[in-house]
């Protein structure tokens, strides 16, 4: 062994395990692409009328707006237009509601189809039961695990931890269905076929506001998700979501099917 080899310290690591199935990986990246286009084309649509309401109606004669982004008139003239979403951050980057809607609906349907594929594959492969639906033990361990996450003390284990399970469960079974159903309930065609859907969400404007709220929560999830991927070891995390193989922390025994 040469000098370099003699002094090279071997890092203590656990085995390489096959953690993410092909279905999990493909659906994950299709979602990421869809949500990118949905967010930016959604902002294009939102900018056509950047005000949110509750209830059935919207318009000048109603006083039911809950969020408005635009210019206000003051005695000194129009003032204070807070532009939270700059125009260039939309798809297309210029004002074009028609194209924005085409892009939004296309990726919306791809997103819904991917959700169905993920659900069936996860049910059949046991991914739902094993990694996603939190059990009583996960709920009990969640507060301690949350403190660990806040201190960036992350563990590379064989399955998701309690906070991961609960977060992914909320994203997959609350936010994804909510954003799709509120989106569908704004479609005039579906309103005619299933009028109960609009009633479920308390009217078209409430559906629109809930759709927007779910988007904000998904963006928040995305930011924390990326920070956690970076903190947990981005190369290992990304490899697992691309190839399926994940390196465990030191101390995990090597089981059948694992690689050294
Ligand atoms: C809109 C964007 C995204 C959403 C909604 C999202 C959502 C999710 C969900 C729901 C899971 C669990 C999936 C399952 O087990 O079936 C997951 C896992 C994962 N995501 Fe994302 N993700 C997004 C973007 C990203 C990006 C950009 C990266 C990489 C930089 C990333 C890296 C990962 C990794 C590494 C895992 C596996 C976590 C682990 O093995 O501990 N995600 N994501």
Whole-angstrom distance, CA of residue 169 vs CA of residue 42: 24
Task: Please report how the helices 176-184 and 204-232 are oriented relative to each other, as an axis angle in degrees rounded to 10.
Answer: 150
Does the pLDDT at position 178 exceed 90? yes
Across the chain, mean pLDDT equals: 88
Q: From ligand 1's centre to the CA of 109, what distance in Å?
A: 20
Q: Give the pLDDT of residue 49.
A: 84
Q: Where are the domains of the chain?
A: 14-37+97-247
Among 58-67, 82-91, 210-219, 230-239, the range scoring the smallest mean pLDDT is 82-91
Structural tokens at position 45: 């649509």
Residues 161-176 pLDDT 10s: 999 999 999 999 999 9
| Other Cβ atoms closer than 10 A to 209 | 23
Q: Which atom of ligand 1 is nearest the CA belonging to 164?
A: 41
Residue 85, pLDDT score:
55
Instruction: For residue range 128-161, list pLDDT tens digits in order.
Output: 999 999 999 999 999 999 999 999 999 899 999 9
Residue 73 φ then ψ, to 5°: -90, 135
Residue 1 confidence class, pLDDT cut points 50, 70, 90: very low
Is pLDDT of 238 > 80?
A: yes
The whole-model pTM stands at 0.88
Q: Pick the residue whose CA is nearest to atom 31 on ligand 1.
A: 226
pLDDT at 226: 97
Does position 87 have pLDDT exceeding 80, yes or no? no
Q: Which atom of ligand 1 is nearest to the CA of 172?
A: 10
Which residue's CA lies nearest to atom 2 of ligand 1?
A: 32
81, pLDDT greater than 70: no
Could you tell me the distance, in angstroms and rounded to a whole number, from the CA of residue 6 to the centre of ligand 1? Answer: 39
CB-based pocket (< 6 A), ligand 1 = 24, 28, 31-32, 35, 131, 168, 171-172, 222, 225-226, 229, 237-238, 240-241
| pLDDT one-digit tens code per residue, 91-134 | 888 888 889 999 999 999 999 999 999 999 999 999 999 999 99
- Ligand 1 centre distance from Cα of residue 225 (Å): 7
224: pLDDT strictly greater than 90: yes
The pLDDT assigned to 84 comes to: 52
Pairing mode, strands 16-18 and 245-247: antiparallel
Q: Is the pLDDT of residue 80 over 60?
A: no
- Which architecture does CATH list for 14-37+97-247? Up-down Bundle (1.20)
Read off the pLDDT of each residue in 30-53 and give the average, rounded to a whole number.
Answer: 91
Q: What does residue 162 show for φ and ψ, rounded to 5 degrees?
A: -55, -45
Mind spelling out the 3-state secondary structure of the chain?
Answer: CCHHHHHCCCCCCCCEEECCCHHHHHHHHHHHHHHHHHHHHHHHHHHHCCEEECCCCCCCCCCCEEEECCCEEECCEEECCCCCCCHHHCCCCCCCHHHHHHHHHHHHHHHHHHHHHHHHHHHHHCHHHHHHCCCHHHHHHHHHHHHHHHCCCCCCCCCCCHHHHHHHHHHHHHHHHHHHHHHHCCCHHHHHHCCHHHHHCCCHHHHHHHHHHHHHHHHHHHHHHHHHHHHHCHHHHHHHHHCCEEECCCCCCCCCCCEC
């Amino acid at each position: 062994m040469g000098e370099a080899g003699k002094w090279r310290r071997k890092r203590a690591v656990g085995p390489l395990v096959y953690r993410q199935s092909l279905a999990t990986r493909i659906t994950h990246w299709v979602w990421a692409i869809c949500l990118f286009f949905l967010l930016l084309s959604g902002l294009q649509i939102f900018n056509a009328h950047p005000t949110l309401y509750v209830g059935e109606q919207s318009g000048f004669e109603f006083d039911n707006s809950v969020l408005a982004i635009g210019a206000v008139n003051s005695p000194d003239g129009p003032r204070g237009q807070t532009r939270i979403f700059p125009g260039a951050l939309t798809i297309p980057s210029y004002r074009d509601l028609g194209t924005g809607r085409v892009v939004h609906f296309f990726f919306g349907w791809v997103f819904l189809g991917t959700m169905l594929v993920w659900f069936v594959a996860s049910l059949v492969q046991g991914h739902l039961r094993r990694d996603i639906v939190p059990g009583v033990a996960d709920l009990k361990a969640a507060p301690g695990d949350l403190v660990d996450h806040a201190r960036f003390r992350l563990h590379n284990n064989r399955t998701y931890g309690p906070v991961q399970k609960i977060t992914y469960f909320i994203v997959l079974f609350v936010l994804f269905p909510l954003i799709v159903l509120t989106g569908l309930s704004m479609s005039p065609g579906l309103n005619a076929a299933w009028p109960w859907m609009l009633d479920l969400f308390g009217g078209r404007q409430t559906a629109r506001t809930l759709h927007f709220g779910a988007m904000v929560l998904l963006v928040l999830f995305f930011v924390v998700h990326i920070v956690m991927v970076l903190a947990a070891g981005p190369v290992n995390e990304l490899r697992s979501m691309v190839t399926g193989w994940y390196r465990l922390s030191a101390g995990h025994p090597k089981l059948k099917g694992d690689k050294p």
